Structure 1
Amino acid sequence: MYSIFRYTVLYLLISTYALSNTTDSLRYELEKTSTDTLKVILLNKLAYEYIPIKNDSTLFFVEQALNIIQHMDNTNTIWKNNYKAKLYTHLGAFHQHRSDVSTALNFYFNALKLYETTGNLSGLLTLYEKIGLSYSDLANYEKSLVYYFKALKLYDKYKITDGKASILGNIGTVYAEQSNFPKALEYFFSSLKINEELNNKAGIAICYTNIGVLYKSQFYFDKALDYYSKALRINEELNFKREMAIIIGNMANIYAEQLKTEEAMKFYLRALEINKEINNKRGFSHIMGNIGSLYVDLNDYSKAIPYLEEALKISGEIGNKYLISIWQSSLGEVYTKSKRYKDAEHFLIKSLQITNQIGALSIKERNEKLLSTIYSETGKHKLAYEHYKNYILIRDSLKNEENAKKQIRQQMQYEYNKKQAADSILFAKEKKIKETEIAHQNAVIKAKKNQQYILLGSLVLFLLFIGFIFKRINIIRNQKKIIEKQKFFVEQKQKEILDSIYYAKRIQECVLPNKTTLDKKIKSLKK
């Protein structure tokens, strides 16, 4: 029984490109402007926008911009070098997007030299990441880490958060490819923490995917599916098709491992359709090879071979040695089982040459065992013995590695538990903070209510006081009216009395003679 190889995709946090609706307006502005500086800026933007498009518009815009810069005499050298570096970076991305990684690297290094002369921090960070990604695509993990750590050093030096999660995730990916799973998990969780703090949904989904890959590699299928499902929901919400294809393909691998053939095939075909739609060659190669491996599981070799051959062809086009060695080894297995020994030997030797270069022991073990079987069946016993010895040596080495993996699984479980504990502590802290905030809010609400009650009470008292004053004024007014009425009555009575007195006096004066007359009369009587 030979092991079946399925390629599970680790998720690199690469920059994505999408054609925006601004291209028409950029072209319109370009036609109107006569300023060389503005022309270069607009051409640079257009070159970036067209990177994912199948035509060569990016090359056309970059060539125009570089030509203008070359003939600009009176422009700041730093500005010119920065824009030349941006344009070279677009050329690198253009070729990397089309799986021509070697050409992409040449342009990236040209851009890097220019950014080093200008000291452009943003440009250096972008280039370090893109070069790291390119070396990772070529399975040159040592160089990949060199450039990732250069970027990480700058992020830490200048205390930059935006973009750091991407680098941490990519470092984790390299460690995972090197089977250093505890280290990989440590970097993935660090990346996840930053993305959660920034509420970066796309970044969170990438971290979930990579953590799922690690758990799958250690046969924690339930944990892996849980993380994949969370990642898939986010990417469906964001409509990120490339990412959806990766996750669906990885979920299909788990179902295949669990011998859920129908479920696995359904997910493989769904991933294949998405990769074909977005023209993702690497993703297409993964899924084609994995479908071929599924047919090998089912002993349907006639169906397995076309898928594996197509996967090998595409892997050769994009230059991924690891994938090439996997699909060559898988074809060697199919041809061995079909007793087509010459074809099997051809593919197995080619795969063995690559595995000797990149150190992929699991694939090498299978190649040595299959070659030993072929040479034994064809009477080449000396060669059969040599390859069998090699197989035993690698198998024992992998057994030791398997024992180490058990320790790794324990360490990964520890890391997972630590993360869960950290999340619990964080949750408790957040809960305490929220409770404090709620208590503070309740106190504020209570104080406001008390203020309202005091205000309302004061208003009521004020209204009562106004009412009392108003009532007193009315009483005083009524009393004043009574007094005035009484005064008028007294005055009237007084007038009547005076009038009577005056009247009696006048009567008296009319009856009696006046004083002078009386005096005269009295005097006459005395005589």
Structure 2
Amino acid sequence: MRKAGVLICIFITNVFLFSQIDQLQTNSLESMLTVAKGEEKLDILEQLINEYAQTNPDKSITYAEQGVQISRELKIKKDEIYFLYIMGDLYFDQKKYSDAIEFYQKSYYLSKKHEDPFQQSIITERIGIIFQEISDYDKALEYFLSTLKLREKNSDDESYASILMNIGNLYYNLEKFEIAFEYYHKTYEIFTDSGDQLDIASICVNLGNVYQEMRKTTKALAHYRTALRIFRDLNDHKGVAQALNNLGTVYFDQENNIEALVYFQTSEETIREINDTYLETLISLNLGATYTNLNILDEAQKQLEKSLKLSEVHHFLDLRLSIYKELSRLYSKLNSSIKTYEFSEKYITLKDSIFSEESDKRIANLRIQYELDKKEEEIVDLFKAKETQLKLRNYFITTSVLILLLLIVLFILFRNKVKTNRMLAESRKKFQDMFEKHSAVMLLIDPDNGDIVNCNQAAKEYYGFSKTNGVIDNLFHLSTNPNEIVSESLKKSLKKKQTRTISQHKLSGNRIRDVELFSTPIEFGKKILIYTIVQDITEQLHYESELKLLNIDLENRINQQVEKAQKQQQLLMQKSKLESLGKLAAGIAHEINQPLGGISMGLDNIVFRQSKNKLSKTYLKEQFDFLFKQIERIKHIIQHIRSFSRDQEAVVVEKVDVNEVIRNSLLIVQTQYKDHLIELVTMLEEGIGFILGNKYRLEQVILNLLSNAKDAVEEKTRFLTTTDYKKEIFIKTFSKENKISIIIRDNGIGISEDILPNIFDPFFTTKEPEKGTGLGLSIIYGIIQEMKGKIFPESKENEFTEFRIEFPRI
């Protein structure tokens, strides 16, 4: 006992010390507030509001009002919005809803003005909660839907799920369970994506409640069990107890009292580990009702009296009403008419009392709603008045500024006019001096009649006339062009800033010279004249004519050289093709010898059977079919080689089946490669489509690469000491992303890294002179480029060489 007393003293002392420390901290903040300035003062006010929020809300409101005032003085709108919102929260906590709405609305309009949609959504959600508290569900729904719209694009998933949950709860309270389910389900999807297990458990409980109200017991049980599993994983005893109780109520509604009893008892055991009197009272009520259904009346009486006692101590009126009803039912089964009547009377009295309280509450809520509507209207009117005042002020400022700007512009224009006139006079004088003394030929022409109003000394000297003898007086007299063309030229010069025309003018002594005229309209006094500079281009045109002839000659020579180069290129390609056929000659002979051998053997058999008189129609038909097949095979090989080897000067561009080209190439070489113990592995993807090009040139590419691959694997066998080396050439086709690719890979000698970039250069080769010219890869590179394709080499010395070719698919 003495130890317990000492511990209690220590506890009281610690509580006292901590409270003194908190008080000292608060006093320190208030002292700092008196000397702080600017944003520092706002930070201290925020801390003081939090300090007094629970212990002295009125003081917190006073500090929040100071925060609003200082924010306005400092013109920090985000802080003004924040402190107005805090004042709304403080009044909300005190259930002073009309005051809370007033400050929420002020904060909302400011955040709307400064385009802060997320802050607007927080405020509209809080206002919706207020209207839900006072049972004005229409207004609450209006604000919740407004919040939902604001958060669709301007918030995270957690905030969006929060408003969906609130709307679901609202429809649940309105008993519109189908709509409530839609919003709960959307919330469930968001929580499932986020992976927060506690959120998932909570929404599962809500979905279970909706399913239970909709009489979909199987789905209700499934969601309650999911919630129970998650609460157990999270070691959340209260959540476990609630989920177990919910499962019990489902079985209770189904009159499966044994299952219900098991869940209620398990819930009762769980609730002992936490302090939640309301849940404990509810579980005892449910146990009592279940025991009554099972006629275990002693246990029922014990549980119901326990729940009654708890409800009376903690004023749980909603539960007490149900307890009275269950006690009346219990004593009816116990045949105690007095007790039955007593609790029936209490049930009716309490129900009437609750109805009366609800009526009073509805009347009070109506009064609050009236005040809220009135405050909302006042706030809207206030902001409209402020906006009108601001517009008028802005209009006055704008008008004043425009008038001032107009006066400034007029002054500048007047000053510029004076300056312009002075500069114009100076400019005229300068122009006259320049005009007279300039070495270029210059004329001033009247566009109405072509009269030459003035000309400089250079003009008089160029034309060889004096202005006084009357010959250089009109443009129509100088030009050799018809008068209509000269007149049209003058009209164009008036319309455009500058024109350039080519003409011929008559000089003294009847000399004709080619001239170029640069004309522009200028204001001279009150009349528009054409200012023209005349440039003699007779020699220039002569040189241009000679240059044109030289260009024609040069173009003809270039075309001849290009044609010659194209023919040489064609010859090189044909030479390369014939080289390939030369290398493959042995293989082609072998391909033809095989069917020839079959023909010879077939004919020998026919002769032998004829000598023995054993020829039948059936046997002859079989043998003739076999012989014709072998002849057709030889014919096919010869026709293909003729087509391939033909010199195609005019290249035919057509749809090309890549797999068909590869098969035709293998037809020529496969027997030869087999004789050399080279394994040809093919993986040709079917249905890959077509490319655009020439199939014979593509076949030349394939045969050239196969020939190089054969040389590479043969070369490797020369220096290998082991006998387990297997010569392989791998051919693959495939289609990907609108491209068709061909891969030819060998496991031969490889190409060293330092020469790999040069392999497509003409005449570059590492082979001996008698084995290669170095033109093969250069030519196939050109063929692939012509067909809009690309080739990518890859090699590792002594391991492999791979060529990947890509063509656009059509």
Q: TM-score, normalised by structure 1?
A: 0.49
Q: Which of these two proteins has the greater Rg computed from alpha carbons?
A: 2
Q: TM-score, normalised by structure 2?
A: 0.34
